[in-house]
């Protein structure tokens, strides 16, 4: 495992009805749901570290701080960029920021831990 601060990745989506608070159940309006914003950010963190992990390793989310600052309507293109800011043993800390065509719509931090995939799955399915 060769993870160092500065690794970056992105996730991009165009907001569709399946992405909205109304559909996801986190509200009743047709705008990007906060859980979908988080999922986009987490997908980018996975993308950033995947090439640097051994084949038997993965990372799992352990902590999130998310500020959803503005609504993104249907059809908006939302881009989330992440950067690995801290590596402490197996613990990884990412900063992220999300933008649509108009504004910064969200920001925060995500912590992940590198684990052995098989051991992790075995432990949680016992």
Binding residues for substrate: 61, 112
Q: How far is residue 13's CA from residue 80's CA, in Å, rounded to a whole number?
A: 9
Closest by CA to 3, choosing from 116, 94, 87, 97, is: 87
Which residues fall in the annotated binding site for CoA?
61
Catalytic residue among 42, 45, 58, 111: 42
Catalytic residue status for 109 = no
Catalytic residue status for 34 = yes
Which residues fall in the annotated binding site?
61, 112
- Asked if 110 and 43 count as a contact pair (C-beta separation under 8 A), the reply is no
Catalytic residue among 23, 34, 85, 109: 34
Catalytic residue among 13, 20, 45, 68: 68
DSSP string across 66-106: EEE-S--BTT-EEEEEEEEEEEETTEEEEEEEEE-SSSEEE
Task: Give the CA count within 13 Å in the CB-facing half-sphere of 86.
Answer: 9
User: Which residues form the catalytic set?
Assistant: 34, 42, 68
């Amino acid at each position: 495992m060769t993870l160092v601060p500065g690794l970056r990745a992105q996730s991009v989506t165009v907001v569709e009805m399946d992405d909205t608070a109304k559909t996801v159940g986190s509200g009743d309006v047709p705008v990007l749901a906060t859980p979908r914003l988080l999922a986009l950010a987490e997908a980018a963190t996975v993308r950033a570290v995947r090439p640097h992990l051994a084949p038997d390793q993965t990372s799992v989310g352990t902590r999130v701080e998310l500020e959803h600052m503005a609504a993104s309507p249907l059809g908006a293109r939302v881009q989330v960029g992440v950067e690995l800011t801290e590596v402490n043993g197996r613990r990884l800390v990412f900063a992220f920021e999300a933008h649509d065509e108009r504004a910064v719509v969200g920001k925060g931090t995500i912590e992940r831990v590198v684990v052995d995939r098989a051991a992790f799955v075995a432990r949680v399915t016992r």
